[in-house]
Homo-oligomer: A and B are copies of this chain.
């Protein structure tokens, strides 16, 4: 963990180092992934079954007819879920749906003084594939966060793929799929699942876009199939930046830092404060909380390698630091949280006030928890309904408005050396 002070002579260099610290070692699986995709394209289900037998150890009795997880299997999974967890998941789904319903965009058309009608119309994607990791990173909350906005957008076909290594699958993941309106679920993962979603096989019809988190193989496969289908962002390790003043409770701050750090040894938790006392108390509180945290080993490594406490003279000094870090999650626990938030340009999501721990946003707040990481909040947004829709612009000229606009189009077409463009206008004006 580093302690920085904006007044220290070497602060600029130290902060720059924090900013550019590489938290991910990209596994070079690109060549292997290229081969897997080519094999799925060439041999379809046969390749899918082979890879699934091998990577997920499903044995020689596994055939293509078992790729699809049936409604009966999903029923059984739902029945196997603890009632309390199921109820919490239902509350989360309702709140995520209510929030995202407010994101549905409006169509628009207007006719200008010349008589030209111009506007746009939004339509849902025809189909979407949702990748869900298997094993310990298989989070039912992420199923909701990816599938619910697709349903709100009106996507008529939502397909989920999830590997079942050694035939294990978290029943809550299937319950989340059911709750969020997923139409088809397949027990397949890795680059082979991404290839099937992009190109289709006899068992799995192709989709228009693939979303959802995954390991290095999945990320490499998504990059490769981009263009054939759409993809969402490639997620990196999670981050939180907390702005807190001397009024904040150091134990609460420490809990929030560790809630981030426990995700992954490459996660990053940073505190910026104007209070020496809070800086010291929070550091102590982190150490204390670590002694009883189940995932202490992971959290400790993240805090040690990437954690930071930055002391500033005042929060105006903090704003440009926030914008450069462009954190995925920004908690503001200061007296003037709202005013301070309004000065920030770059953040994936902002959590206002001391009663809004980031973990509320992970589950039941309503806003999406799929957010831009690794400083990409400088140029991108969290997942939302618009990611499952696309906009078609519309233009309609009358004979009169074409007469008014045509000459300028003809001039520009000719000035760009595109006489055919000019003629397609001129022929309608007898020019």
Contacts and interface: CB of A to CB of B under 8 A. Distances in A.
A112 interface: yes
Interface of A: 82, 84-85, 87-89, 91-92, 98-99, 102-103, 108, 110, 112, 116-120, 123-126, 136, 139-141, 172, 208-209, 227, 229-230, 234, 251-252, 255-256, 258-259, 261-263, 289, 293-295, 299, 323, 341, 344-368, 371-372, 374, 376-382, 384, 386, 390-399, 401-402, 405-409, 411-413, 415-425, 427-428
A85 B409 CA distance: 10
B349 A395 contact: yes
A406 to B, nearest CB: 7
A422 B359 contact: yes
A99 B395 CA distance: 11
A194 B363 CA distance: 39
B126 A428 contact: no
A126 B323 contact: yes
14 contacts: A82-B415, A85-B415, A88-B407, A102-B108, A102-B110, A227-B234, A255-B424, A263-B418, A294-B417, A294-B420, A341-B394, A350-B393, A363-B409, A381-B390
A398 to B, nearest CB: 6
Given A88-B415, A259-B418, A380-B390, 14 more contacts: A99-B118, A112-B366, A252-B428, A258-B420, A350-B395, A351-B395, A355-B399, A358-B424, A359-B413, A360-B402, A360-B409, A364-B409, A372-B390, A382-B391
A6 B353 CA distance: 63
Nearest to A354: B428
Nearest to A251: B427
